[in-house]
């Protein structure tokens, strides 16, 4: 074994010397390219053999039509109200490009009242072939078209993550704990008969962790930019009764409304425009889904935990300041994960804010935790030390 290691080190040194002469970028590119071609045919954990799964489009179930009509009506009200939003609170150019592409079918459906195309999108958005910003379906689709990329995704990325979760986070549970419900045609990998996406692994980990921050009988949990509700799904399994208030842009709210109403048919939902949002709403309803600017209607200190993943760092600075100030007004605890050193520059030449610049009032909140996001560091199936995603946890002073 020692001789093998010495020979490996010698070979690595000989290869590295000319590559370093080509510069840091050439060296890094070679290592990344070599990694994607690494022969991973020997399984040390033979029972973990994930298989990429990307389904064909699913025809919607006509029995869901009353639910879809309800979601469509809330979507129409939200888009009408969006015309009155302040310009700086509208989606920045990056998100707008995503909506113009992946969410394009929703525009004509809204104009013509075509519920069939609207329903088709909702029934399939978790395996949409374009980048939706809320799930990695485009990556899975592209990997399904190329055998080398497929093997890399199965063995280097997903298998590595599944082994990590099984050893460090499973607490004796099987992979069923990572499985998403069969709603909106999800894609990912099949392992032990369970469908698992890359995002569900870390949502399960963070969902358990965040649930421990709200151990009360009926906590109110709010989230800005919650996507289709994946984190809530995994968090809910660790809570008894709770109220969840989700804030997002209208297009994504459609996805969340459909996914969560299909997943939790026993819960009581409030969609935008169906009733006023007030303190009584947070008692009467289990899940409330609203456009982001409706955060202003929450009363001071009415939220036990406010969550944000990624979206504050993808906003214009003015929007980020507004939402952080509103979050700090309404919540007792604030947990977020965003960029530490890398800014986004938008089409109007403005830039996003970094974690340390968020206007969290230090006289009212204590920073109780700051750490590198494990999902970003391990998300490619190996250590990514270039990741700049950090998690921050604030708690309001008594």
Question: What is the reported pLDDT for 39?
Answer: 47
Contacts of 49 (CB under 8 A, 6+ apart): 43, 159, 191
Question: What is the reported pLDDT for 189?
Answer: 98
Contacts of 53 (CB under 8 A, 6+ apart): 140, 187, 188, 189, 190, 195
Q: Answer whether residue 392 is part of any domain.
A: yes
Tell me phi and psi for residue 372, to 5 degrees.
Answer: -70, 135
Q: Answer whether residue 359 is part of any domain.
A: yes
Residue with tokens 């055998």: 147
Measure CA 76 to chain center.
24
CATH number at residue 387: 3.40.50.150
Question: What is the reported pLDDT for 238?
Answer: 94
Q: Answer whether residue 120 is part of any domain.
A: no
**Domain total of the chain:** 1
Q: Answer whether residue 149 is part of any domain.
A: no
Question: What is the reported pLDDT for 43?
Answer: 43
Question: What is the reported pLDDT for 361?
Answer: 97
Q: Answer whether residue 179 is part of any domain.
A: no
Question: What is the reported pLDDT for 312?
Answer: 97
d(CA 147, CA 369): 42
3-state secondary structure the chain: CHHHHHHHHHHHHHHHHHHHHCCHHHHHHHHHHHHHCCCCCCCCCCCCCCEEECCCCCCCCHHHHHHHHHHHHHHHHHHHHHCCCCHHHCCCHHHHHHHHHCCCCHHHHHHHCCHHHHHHHHHHHHHCCCCCCCCCHHHHHHHHCCHHHHHHHHHHHHHHHHHHHHHHCCCCCCHHHHCCCCCCCCCEEEECCEEECHHHHHHHHHHHHHHCCCCCCCCEEEEECCCCCHHHHHHHCCCCCCEEEEEECHHHHHHHHHHHHHHCCCCCEEECCCCCCCCCHHHHCCEEEEEHHHHHHCCCCCECEEEEECCHHHCCHHHHHHHHHHHHHHECEEEEEEECCCCCECCCCCECCCHHHCCCCCCCEEEEEEEECHHHHHCCCCCCCCCCEEEEEEEECC
Question: What is the reported pLDDT for 381?
Answer: 76
Give, to the nearest 10 degrees, the angle between helix 2-21 and helix 24-36.
Answer: 130
Contact (CB, 8 A) for 81 and 290? no
Measure CA 35 to chain center.
26
d(CA 301, CA 223): 15
Q: In the chain, what is the greatest distance between 2 CA atoms, to the nearest angstrom?
A: 73
The pair of structure tokens assigned to 82 is: 């969006």
Q: Answer whether residue 117 is part of any domain.
A: no
d(CA 207, CA 335): 12
Q: Answer whether residue 176 is part of any domain.
A: no
Q: How far is CA 87 from CA 298, 324, 351, in A?
A: 22, 17, 15
Q: What is the pTM of this model?
A: 0.89
Residues in the chain: 398
Domain of residue 207, residue span: 200-396
Q: Answer whether residue 224 is part of any domain.
A: yes
Reading across the β-sheet that carries 51-53, which strands appear in turn?
A: 51-53, 188-191, 194-196
Contact (CB, 8 A) for 201 and 64? no
d(CA 152, CA 147): 9
Give average pLDDT by consecutive 10-residue segment, the chain, 398 residues.
Answer: 68 74 73 58 64 97 96 97 94 91 93 94 98 96 96 93 94 96 98 96 97 93 98 95 96 98 98 88 92 96 96 95 98 97 91 97 97 88 83 96
């Amino acid at each position: 074994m020692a001789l093998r290691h010495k020979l490996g080190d010698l070979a690595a040194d000989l290869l590295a010397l000319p590559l370093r002469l080509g510069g840091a970028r050439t060296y890094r590119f070679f290592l990344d390219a070599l990694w994607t071609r690494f022969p991973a045919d020997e399984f040390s954990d033979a029972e973990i053999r994930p298989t990429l799964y990307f389904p064909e489009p699913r025809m919607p179930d006509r029995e869901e039509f009353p639910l879809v009509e309800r979601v469509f009506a809330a979507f129409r009200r939200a888009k009408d109200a969006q015309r009155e939003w302040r310009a700086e609170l509208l989606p920045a150019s990056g998100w707008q490009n995503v909506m113009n592409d992946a969410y394009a079918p929703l525009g004509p459906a809204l104009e013509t009242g075509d519920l069939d195309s609207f329903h088709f999108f909702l029934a399939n958005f978790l395996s949409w072939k374009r980048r939706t910003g809320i799930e990695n379906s485009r990556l899975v689709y592209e990997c399904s078209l190329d055998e080398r990329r497929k093997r890399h995704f199965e063995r280097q990325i997903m298998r590595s993550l599944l082994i990590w979760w099984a050893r460090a986070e499973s607490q004796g549970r099987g992979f069923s704990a990572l499985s998403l419900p069969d709603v909106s045609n999800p894609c990912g990998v099949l392992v032990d008969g369970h469908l698992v996406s890359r995002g569900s692994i870390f949502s399960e980990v963070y969902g358990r962790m965040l649930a421990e921050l709200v151990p009360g009988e009926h906590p109110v949990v709010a989230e800005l930019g919650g996507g289709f509700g994946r984190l809530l799904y995994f968090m809910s399994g660790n809570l008894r009764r709770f109220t969840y208030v989700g804030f997002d842009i209208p297009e994504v709210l459609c996805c969340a409304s459909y996914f969560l109403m299909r997943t939790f048919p026993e819960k009581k939902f409030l969609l935008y425009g169906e009733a006023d949002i007030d303190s009584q709403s947070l008692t009467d309803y289990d899940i409330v889904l609203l456009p982001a600017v409706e955060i202003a209607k929450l009363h001071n200190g009415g939220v036990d935990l406010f969550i944000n993943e990624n979206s504050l760092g993808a906003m214009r600075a003015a929007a980020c300041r507004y939402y952080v100030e509103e979050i700090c007004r309404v919540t007792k605890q604030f947990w977020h994960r965003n960029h530490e050193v890398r800014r986004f520059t938008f089409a109007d030449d403005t830039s996003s804010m970094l974690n340390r610049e968020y206007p969290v009032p230090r006289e009212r909140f204590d920073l109780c935790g700051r750490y590198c996001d494990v999902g970003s560091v391990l998300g490619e199936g190996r250590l990514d030390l270039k990741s700049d995603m950090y998690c921050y946890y604030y708690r309001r002073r008594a």
